[in-house]
Every structure is written in structure tokens, then in C-alpha cells.
Amino acid sequence: MAPWYLSIIFLVFAVYSSAAPSPSSTSLSKRLLTKSSLAQVPRGWNLHGTPPRHHTIKLRIGLRQSNFAELERALFQVSDPSHIRYGLHLSKEEVKDLIAPHPETLTLVESWLASHGIDIDSLDRSTAGDWIAVVVPIHQAESMLGADYRTYKHESTGAEIVRVTSYRLPEHLHDHIDVVHPTTMFGGTLRPTVSRTRIRQRDTGAAVDASCSTLTTLKCLQDLYNTAGYKPRAPSKNAYGITGYAGQFANLADLKLFYQQYLPEATNFTFKEVLINGGQNSQNLSQAGVEADFDMQYAGGLTFPTQNIFYSTGGSPPYIPDANSPSNTNEPYQDWLDYMSTLQEDEIPQTIATSYADDEESVPPDYAIRACQGFAQLGARGVSLLFGSGDGGVGSTEGSACFSNDGKNTTVFLPSFPATCPYVTVVGGTTGIPEVAVEFSGGGFSNYFSRPSYQSEVVNSYLQGLGTTYAGLFNSTGRAYPDVAAFSTNFTTIYEGQSELLYGTSAATPTFGAVISLANDALIAANKPPLGFLNPWLYSGGYKALNDITSGSNPGCGTAGFSAGVGWDPVTGFGTPDFQKILAALGLGQ
């Protein structure tokens, strides 16, 4: 394995294995040491200028969680069908107790902030106190972090953000602060990867249900994944959540047209809207988001009349240099996670799907780890989190060249984040009847997160068959993805009042999520707990309820990519869902 992988994996191991902070000496060092540094500005971003010194930003400081190792242990126990704690998901308060910072951490960090003239009483704190935020001018942030803020512009989207290429913290705080943002986290502007084609003649559902290969509709998916005829039994107790970022708005007029055409009984059915951190959901038809429209149309259509919730989270560029309010920090995951941590058990959907991704290497390890830990908290509380695997095959989610971002520009495969987080379930893509892997299905191995024990056996088996093929192009010890797959081509949707075709794992993700939401409905109706974090169940035997996809590959980076085969593979995971088999595996019948 290339040396740059080793340093990153060591960093992740150090974060996961750390205990409560050890007492510091009474004479605290004032020396600033580098906390995070980039070898080069992430591809796609270019230096654009210098922000005004008095422009304000909202600094978010992630404090070391006191007992994440215990939370991780609990997550796997409540998600493992063979464990005595299976299904005994944690409460909000139980999670809070495990991730609250050590008292010494709070004392040291607050003393540091006070030394920079910050009023401790003015701090914005997360529910567990593991995140604190403060609004400061650029010049004060630079003094606190020993950093130089600059404005960067994204060459393809035109988005502007304020970032640094490195920052420092006092030596004695390195074991107490995991991450400060916005600093070195550029990202790829977190955009959906769905593609679309306008349909010139609007078709009726009846004319196209015979074959998903031609035009994918609700009925096609219901037949394909064996949900046809199932009527949700606990729709008021079960909920399916969809996240929206990057200014994606779900249009109600488009939704009604979609239902009128493909599910008339749901014509007046709608979703609950939740706005987070300045998120919006404009109903101006010209501002409809193709991703948001699709997600809500298929989430609702496949689970009707289960409650659907659309989370619109703000936090995407552009930066406005002359504004008198904090610059946009483009960190929607954490803003969304902060909001979810405030909810009680009966307020959180049992299933949540997200169709957005960045190249893993564009997300600094410290930020990726903390976001991933946030996903673990939701899993421990009984939420099934699904993310798309990306649409770049073994390459970039943005279609850029396959080079490492460590300053060496080594040719490598480019994994996707959050797909590489070991605490979420990742959905790849298929196409055709019978189904085969679609060529854009993202899949591969993390350079940040080591392989979790639940997938060691099946992944090792795949790697043994692969042999030395692509040696040096990927990290063979990393978390492997995707875990599962679903259909991802020729989806008909209504966008801006017109029919369009959609492609992408952005389509596969809410589709697979809908099947899981129906399974959770059946469990709740039987007075059983929801599935929660899926992977321990999937890898320990749940995969037998899936349709194994054995053909196709995900080319990229000048290679043929990985190949689908019998059993798990890094193109389609374990395959696509069969709802009736899932019910049987859970001890339920229709």
C-alpha cells in the first residue's frame, strides 16, 4: 500500500482508539502546532482573492467525544441479530452521555477562547456539547488558528468559499479538539450526480410498465422488488426521510402531477417539510430541483401512505464578501446532524436516504471522521441511513482525472464520501432486465476508514479472487462499498411540469430506502423495533434476501474497474432487494 494511505489510516485509528483526555500540566504550552494541512488546493478550486478582514465567519469547533468507542460498541450490538441487545436502540440521552466532552476538555477549550476575548456565555453549543460555534471576524479567526484565510472559486460551479490550506492550534489542545471548520474542508460543493433527459411525449404508466429497460416507473419497481400489493400497516408510526442540500427544492406542483399520472390515489398526498440552517423549499416552479423532485416523488410513491419528511439544509455557497453576516460554511452534513441530535425518539424517521456525495480526498480526514461519528449516533438510535455510492465508477464523482490530492498526483482510484463511512449503508446501481451492474455505479475502498469487521470475510474473499489486479490503485484494507444496489436508469419523473428521464445512484438510493421503509413498517406493525443500522444484519445473513447481481463492472481511471460477481462485490454490493424475502428473513409474512 502506498505510504500516504498509512498516515491517513493511522490518523483514523488514533481518533477511534482515543480514551478520555489525559490531564494536562498546569503550565500549558502556548506553542501552535499544525492541526490540519493540505498538500495542495483540492482540484476544481482556484485562489480567487482575500476576504475583508472584518468579514465574519462562524467557526465550529468539534470537541473530542468522551466515549465514542462505547457508542460504537453499542451501535454494533443493537444492530447485530445474534446479540442479546439487538433492537434495543439507544435514547437521545444515552447517546448524549456517551459523546459529551470530558470536563477537562471544556475547561481548556473555553479558557483558550476566553484568552481571545470571546464571551463563553455567547457560545452556540450542540445538544451534547461536543460542538461549539462562535461568530468572529476573519482577522480574529486567523489569530486563533495561526492561519491565512483566502477566497476560493470552484471552476465548474462558480461557487466561492473562504478557506485555509492549513491551520494550527495550541499544543495542549490537540487532544481535546478534533476539528475546526471552516478551515481545510473544501469539498466538491456537495452536489447530486443525477443526470436527466427530457421526454418529448409524456407517457402513461400503463404503456411502460412491461420493462424497466425502457422506462422505469413506480409499478415497474414494485414488481421488480416484490412490494406490489403491500399496504403499509403503521403509516402514522413510521416515517421515511429524504435529505436535500445545495439549494435543491422539492416542488409540490410537480409532485401532484407525478401522482396524478402514476399513483392517482395519492394525488393529494404530500410530505412534511423541515428547514435547517437557513434551508428553503421555494415553490417557484423554475427553482424546482431535479434531485429533490425525484427523491420525493419516488420516496412517496413507493411507500404511500407512509409519512415522508423532506429536510432542506442550507449551507452551500456562494460566499458574499460584503455581507455583514457569517459567510456560508458549506458543511450541510454537520448542520443536519446537529438538528437531528435535538429530536426525541418519536420525531426521527426510521429510514433516511441521501443522494449527495463528494470525492473522499476532497474532505479532510478530521472532518470526515466527525461527520461519520454523527451518522453512527443516528444508527445507534435505530435509524437506517442510506447513501448513494456515486456515479463515477472507480473514479471521481465529478468526472475529473484520477489523481491523488497529496501533492504527488499519483494515479489512484477515487472513493466517495460519505459512502466510505462504515456506519452507513451504501447503494450502488443496476440497469437492464435481468439486472446487471450499471457502468457508473460508484464502488471501491476507503483511504480513510479501515475495513469494519462485519464485512471482512466477504471482502477478503473478493480480493483473493481479484489477486494483484489494480495493485497500488486502491487501499485493499479500507472500508469497502457499496453494500447493496438498486435500479438506477430510465426513471421517469416530473420536473418543472414536464416529464424527464433520470439516471444515477441518486435514483437507486431512495428506491432501496423505500423497500427498507416498508420493512420497518411491517416490523413496527408487529410491535418489533425497526431495523436501524443495516450492515451487521446484511453481512451476517440478511444478504440472502437480496438478488445477487453477477454481471457488469464500473470502469474508470482508464481501467475496466471492478467486476460484479457471485456474492459481494464493489460494484453492486450484495445486490438488489426482494421485499418478500426480507419479510421472511425478519420472521414476518405479508
pLDDT digits (tens, 9 = 90+) for 465-484: 999 999 999 999 999 999 99
pLDDT 10s digits, 558-577: 999 999 999 999 999 999 99
Q: What does pTM read for this prediction? A: 0.91
**C-alpha Rg value of the chain to the nearest Å:** 23
Please enumerate, by residue number, every residue annotated as part of a binding site for Ca(2+): 548-549, 567, 569
Please enumerate, by residue number, every residue annotated as part of a binding site: 548-549, 567, 569
Kindly report the three-state secondary structure assignment for every residue of 134-185: EEEEHHHHHHHHCCCCEEEEECCCCCEEEECCEEEEEHHHCCCEEEEECCCC
* 113: pLDDT strictly greater than 70: yes
Distance CA 348, CA 344 (A): 7
pLDDT given for residue 195 in this prediction: 52
Q: Which stretch, 16-20, 161-165, 426-430, has highest mean pLDDT?
A: 426-430
Cα→Cα distances 378→64, 86, 90, 111, 407, Å: 18, 15, 9, 31, 35
Domain boundary among 134, 157, 181: 181
* 28: pLDDT strictly greater than 60: no
Q: Are residues 93 and 172 in the same domain?
A: yes
pLDDT given for residue 206 in this prediction: 36
The residue segments making up the domain with residue 256 are 196-585
What mean pLDDT comes out for the span 381-389? 97
Q: What string of DSSP letters covers 337-385?
A: HHHHHTS-GGGS-SEEEE-EEEEGGGS-HHHHHHHHHHHHHHHHTT-EE
Cα→Cα distances 325→65, 132, 321, 434, Å: 30, 18, 10, 54
* 319: pLDDT strictly greater than 60: no
Residue 343 lies in a domain: yes
* 193: pLDDT strictly greater than 70: no
Residue 452 lies in a domain: yes
Q: Are residues 425 and 559 in the same domain?
A: yes
Residue 590 lies in a domain: no
* 321: pLDDT strictly greater than 70: no
Q: Are residues 88 and 124 in the same domain?
A: yes
Q: Are residues 309 and 239 in the same domain?
A: yes
Q: What does the block give as the cell for 125?
A: 453549543
- Closest to 189 in 3D by CA, of 325, 332, 84: 332
Distance CA 186, CA 176 (A): 23
Domain boundary among 154, 181, 208: 181
Residues of the chain with pLDDT > 70: what percent? 87
Q: Are residues 245 and 296 in the same domain?
A: yes
C-alpha dihedral over 194, 198, 201, 205, to 10 degrees? 10
Distance CA 543, CA 531 (A): 14
Regarding predicted confidence, which is higher, 407 or 100? 100
Q: What does the block give as the cell for 107?
A: 475547561
Active site residue ranges: 291, 295, 506
In 408-565, DSSP assigns E strands to 416-417, 425-431, 436-437, 444-450, 478-481, 484-487, 491-495, 498-503, 546-547
Distance CA 100, CA 108 (A): 15
pLDDT 10s digits, 486-540: 999 999 999 999 999 988 999 999 999 999 999 999 999 999 999 999 999 999 9
Q: What letter represents residue 316's amino acid?
A: S
What mean pLDDT comes out for the span 226-252? 92
* 26: pLDDT strictly greater than 80: no
pLDDT given for residue 9 in this prediction: 41
The answer to whether the CB of 518 falls within 8 A of the CB of 537 is: no
The answer to whether the CB of 570 falls within 8 A of the CB of 577 is: no
The answer to whether the CB of 553 falls within 8 A of the CB of 523 is: no
pLDDT 10s digits, 259-307: 999 999 999 999 999 998 877 787 887 777 888 999 999 999 999 999 9
Overall domain count for the chain: 2
pLDDT given for residue 430 in this prediction: 96
Residue 190 lies in a domain: no
Helices (H), 381-504: 456-466
